[in-house]
């Protein structure tokens, strides 16, 4: 009888040990899987930050070389010459356009800042194209043989007003772009320091 009780006790202990061991293994596996998911999400965000930083840097550098530097130093609209105009309707914003849904994983303020920067930059590029068309119209009116003085004055005034507006917008958008680039740089640094962190808060 003692042998049976000893065997039953040993078997019960083995079953309890196996059950606890199985649960511990399952828990450890679950933690490992969760860690892998977080690392993958962190890598995705780090790649996103690097791609957005590269895209925004390239766009702003190109714009500055084509128009921005010249615009900052001018006082009159007739002095502004375009070597080329960046069009928001082109696919220059492909990284942002294809990954904007991932910005929802950021804290609301950071997400809002990045979205506002891109929307303002796109709008500004469209405004530059509108200004280019207005410049062409102004030139066309000036070169007419039968000049309507009222029309010429109206077009010139509209051209000057739009130029002054563009200068203000340039500095507004420049501030947003520089701020967004700095924020993305901080995110990249934080992401490289802690690859398992999914949410970055500044």
Sequence spans of domains, the chain: 43-193
pLDDT tens, residue order, the chain (202 aa): 667 766 666 666 666 666 666 666 766 666 666 676 677 777 888 888 999 999 999 999 989 988 888 888 888 877 777 755 666 567 788 999 998 888 888 889 999 999 999 999 999 988 988 888 888 887 887 777 676 777 778 888 888 899 899 999 999 999 999 999 999 999 899 888 866 544 545 4
Using alpha carbons, select from 103, 101, 105, 125 the residue that is nearest to residue 114.
103
Rounded-to-integer distance, Cα 86 and Cα 122, Å: 9
Give pLDDT, residue 202.
Answer: 47
Contact 184, 54 (CB under 8 A): no
Rounded-to-integer distance, Cα 17 and Cα 20, Å: 5
Phi, psi of 6 (to 5 degrees): -65, -45
Element (H, E) at 193: helix 149-193
> What's the token pair of residue 148?
């309507």
What is the Cα Rg of the chain in Å?
30
Q: Which residues, in sequence order, are CB contacts of 131 under 8 Å at separation 6+?
A: 162, 163, 166
The pTM score is: 0.74
Rounded-to-integer distance, Cα 145 and Cα 192, Å: 65
Rounded-to-integer distance, Cα 143 and Cα 105, Å: 55
Give pLDDT, residue 193.
Answer: 82
CA atoms within 13 A on the CB side of 99: 20
């Amino acid at each position: 009888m003692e042998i049976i009780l000893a065997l039953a006790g040993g078997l019960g202990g083995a079953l309890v040990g196996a059950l606890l061991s199985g649960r511990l293994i399952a828990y450890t596996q679950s933690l490992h899987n969760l860690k892998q998911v977080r690392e993958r999400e962190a890598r995705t965000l780090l790649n996103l930050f690097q791609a957005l930083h590269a895209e925004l840097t390239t766009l702003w550098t190109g714009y500055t070389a084509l128009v921005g530097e010249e615009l900052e130093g001018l006082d009159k609209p007739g002095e502004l010459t375009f070597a080329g105009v960046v069009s928001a309707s082109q696919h220059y914003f492909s990284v942002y356009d294809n990954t904007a849904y991932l910005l929802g994983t950021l804290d609301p303020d950071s997400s809002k800042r990045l979205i506002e920067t891109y929307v303002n930059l796109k709008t500004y590029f469209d405004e530059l194209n509108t200004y280019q068309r207005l410049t062409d119209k102004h030139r066309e009116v000036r070169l007419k043989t039968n000049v309507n003085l009222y029309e010429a004055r109206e077009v010139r005034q509209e051209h000057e007003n739009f130029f002054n507006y563009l200068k203000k917008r340039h500095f507004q958008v420049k501030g947003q772009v520089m701020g967004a680039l700095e924020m993305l740089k901080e995110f990249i640094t934080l992401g490289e320091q802690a690859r398992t962190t999914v949410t970055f808060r500044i």
